[in-house]
Structure 1
């Protein structure tokens, strides 16, 4: 009996443990904004593509270092000569087969090439920096898109709650009207109006749920997620705060943006790269000096004539490695190349590089102007959104009071159901407008904070 009791208790403990595991791990993950941004940085395809560009820049930098190193190549060949050849013994032409083996190694090292290698190395280093800046900008752009999509889901969630609250209120009101109609205090038309209102509320909920689902899909796609149905974000009541950045003058925000925003750093890096391209092109107009060295050895398999006791005698070929040692040779020196005329190709290359440099400088100026315009626009939009937020808040307060007054009048029979429904609809619309203005203002403040150099968070 004791053994049976232990088995039963063990099974119960196992069931409780399994239930705990399922309940804990079966819960859907609620994504915070930080979770979304961190996941996108690791998994977004556009960011991955930009990261590959950064890796390519690293390889190009290593290749530029390799330009300073010698080029070393080895070669070897073995050939057969079949046909009419001179017999070294008789001196006559005969059909025969001869073999020949040769091997060698050569190396050359650049000594001076108009400082092109040095400038290419500097350019590769700048390209590394540029690719890292482009990767950072890609992450910033993705983070902004995610923040916008995240706030859109929050708005849709709260809007859905408003619609459900309206439905709950209208269903209660429908029940009361139904009782009153049955008692003969109200006409049946009021009940039909209430029924139509409830049906309209349900339709609004369906539309709100569909809008919420679509907004979740939009964010899930940014995160490269496939499970749209189970994707959801953490719910919280994000209230409008007294954002310190909105107390700053636009000029102060612009100064901070010029110091931190990668757009200007990218434009400046392109200017620096264009300057290096000019120096590289100019280097082709200068003389170049190269050092070289080569070693070679050969061997043949033909008979040879040797002198023994004053008489020529036909002997076989020397051993292979003895021939390689005997017929080896070294060649080394320096080579000077002086460009004289190549159809103005080098000159035109310099001219094109200078034009590209001017274009890069113009792009830098445009980037500075664009940044200033974007900051002014962001600040102006945020201030306008705040004024709209205050206006919708005042409208909501007024509509709420009007709706409460309408409820009191309707309760005592001083207002018909149609007018009551209209008052409630205006109140719900005011709630929706207020939520829209609220999240619109929060996002536009985040854009201003983004230019000011603050991280993308929602408190």
Structure 2
């Protein structure tokens, strides 16, 4: 008995120790209170795509440095030390000045070379003229401008996704509030009807009918809570927020939906879209590639120079004696004249010209597509505004019908069925109104993107100048 008790206490102690250790491993949850502007600013700093876009700009700057380095002097140093265990032997006829009367052979072996030799040198080269260098330098700077436009495009996409996720959280929070209010209203009605049933003034069917309505409302409440948690996780992912953080939004859906602002947005004209800037920059890069392939027909001129000292010895100790070392130097220019390359440059030039025609076609199509996006987005927003007005009116009418049904039921001139049906219609009208409100905000985001003004909540990003 004592041993069993001992084992049980030991097991509990180990279990408590493990729970404490696990609790220490779980990072504490921190809560951030954010509005829409703060959420967008956080996302632009921490979203993975936004961070990579900024890093790509740094990569393009290194490309410019690399292209510039090709036009600067190229200096290289060298040092070598060789050991020849078996020195090369050459044979000469055993006659004339090399005749050896003691050698019966008709050839005499001679060793040309020593066991150790070393050299130390430096070479310098400088490009004097190469048309590709200057075009490559311009192309590198143009590529940097393209990465700037890519950054703006990525940030636009981040803002769009964060806004939609943000509004998703807000609409689900509103649905939770409505579900809680509906539950409170149903619970009050259920309590009254139950009391009337117990007093003999109501039927059991009336109580059951309200319980069914209460269960349906509670199910809606649970679905809203689940949707709210999922939408928060989606928003955190879009923001680049670590898992251990929680967020509390300090704004409401209605605060972000001033109808006058939506109507003013319908009257705005579009500005230059970053997608067009990206395409124009790609056209410029292709034109530079065409120029680069064209200048390949021109000669190149380079300066070359070298200085070296060489030494040798038949033993390691004499290899580095100053009397065994000698200097040499060279200065020269190299002119490279292209004559025939099998028409490879001609094929590249033809390909560049075809690529330019493709990009021109894409630019025409993009311009038409932007106009269509603006038209569709304005039509959708205008339609959503009309639906929003209708759904608001329907919600107000449903509230009036419910209030009148409750009054009639309390005065004994109405039925319980009318109250339950009016409550169901009110819940449906509230959900439809919230959906219309959310659709209006999504259409607003789509129109802002189509117009190129999705950065409204933040300072407009600085675009590259060339």
Q: Same fold (TM over 0.5)?
A: yes
Tell me what 1:50 maps to: 53
What is the CA-CA distance between 1:335 and the residue it aligns to?
1.2
Alignment pair present for 1:277 and 2:276: no
Tell me what 2:308 maps to: 296
Distance 1:272 1:396, change over 3 A: same
Aligned residue for 1:56, secondary structure, equals helix
What is the CA-CA distance between 1:207 and the residue it aligns to?
1.0
1:266 to 263, 271, 278: 278
Deviates more, 1:136-145 or 1:240-249: 240-249
Tell me what 1:365 maps to: 364
What is the CA-CA distance between 1:68 and the residue it aligns to?
0.8
Distance 1:343 1:390, change over 3 A: same
Paired residues of 1:166 and 1:201 also in contact (CA < 8 A): yes
Deviates more, 1:151-160 or 1:72-81: 72-81
User: How do 1:307-322 residues align onto structure 2 when only pairs under 5 Å count?
Assistant: 320-322=321-323
Aligned residue for 2:115, secondary structure, equals strand
What is the CA-CA distance between 1:355 and the residue it aligns to?
2.1
Distance 1:245 1:340, change over 3 A: farther
Distance 1:133 1:319, change over 3 A: closer
Aligned residue for 2:71, secondary structure, equals coil
Distance 1:99 1:93, change over 3 A: farther
Tell me what 2:455 maps to: 455
Alignment pair present for 1:222 and 2:222: no
1:32 to 35, 50, 57: 35
1:162 to 170, 178, 188: 178
2:136 to 120, 140, 155: 120
Alignment pair present for 1:204 and 2:220: yes
Deviates more, 1:142-151 or 1:31-40: 31-40
Question: Residues of 1 paired with 2:319 and 2:38: CA distance?
Answer: 78
Tell me what 1:171 maps to: 187
User: How do 1:245-264 residues align onto structure 2 when only pairs under 5 Å count?
Assistant: 246-247=263-264, 253-254=269-270, 257-258=271-272, 261-264=273-276
Question: Residues of 1 paired with 2:191 and 2:366: CA distance?
Answer: 63
- Residue segments in structure 1 that go unaligned for 5+ positions in a row: 1-24, 304-315
User: Deviations for 1:126-172, whole angstroms, at most 9, x for unmatched residues?
Assistant: 11011111011111111111111111111111111111111101111
Question: Residues of 2 paired with 1:413 and 1:212: CA distance?
Answer: 40
Distance 1:452 1:76, change over 3 A: closer
Alignment pair present for 1:241 and 2:253: no
2:120 to 103, 107, 114: 103
Tell me what 1:12 maps to: none
Aligned residue for 1:342, secondary structure, equals coil
Distance 1:283 1:417, change over 3 A: same
Alignment pair present for 1:383 and 2:382: yes
Distance 1:196 1:64, change over 3 A: same
Question: Residues of 1 paired with 2:177 and 2:375: CA distance?
Answer: 35
What is the CA-CA distance between 1:318 and the residue it aligns to?
8.9
User: Deviations for 1:235-279, whole angstroms, at most 9, x for unmatched residues?
Assistant: 4341632445734676x513xx22xx2111111111111111111
1:59 to 55, 58, 62: 62
- Residue segments in structure 2 that go unaligned for 5+ positions in a row: 1-27, 92-96, 100-107, 459-466
What is the CA-CA distance between 1:117 and the residue it aligns to?
0.6
Question: Residues of 2 paired with 1:288 and 1:229: CA distance?
Answer: 61
Alignment pair present for 1:333 and 2:332: yes
What is the CA-CA distance between 1:410 and the residue it aligns to?
1.5
Tell me what 2:424 maps to: 425
Question: Residues of 2 paired with 1:280 and 1:107: CA distance?
Answer: 26
Paired residues of 2:116 and 2:319 also in contact (CA < 8 A): no
Question: Residues of 1 paired with 2:445 and 2:375: CA distance?
Answer: 14
1:191 to 186, 190, 207: 207
User: Deviations for 1:302-346, whole angstroms, at most 9, x for unmatched residues?
Assistant: 49xxxxxxxxxxxx979633443xx21221121111111111112
What is the CA-CA distance between 1:375 and the residue it aligns to?
1.4
Question: Residues of 2 paired with 1:286 and 1:405: CA distance?
Answer: 92
Distance 1:317 1:401, change over 3 A: closer
What is the CA-CA distance between 1:221 and the residue it aligns to?
1.4
Paired residues of 1:216 and 1:232 also in contact (CA < 8 A): no
Question: Residues of 2 paired with 1:191 and 1:415: CA distance?
Answer: 15
Alignment pair present for 1:70 and 2:87: no
Question: Residues of 1 paired with 2:184 and 2:76: CA distance?
Answer: 85
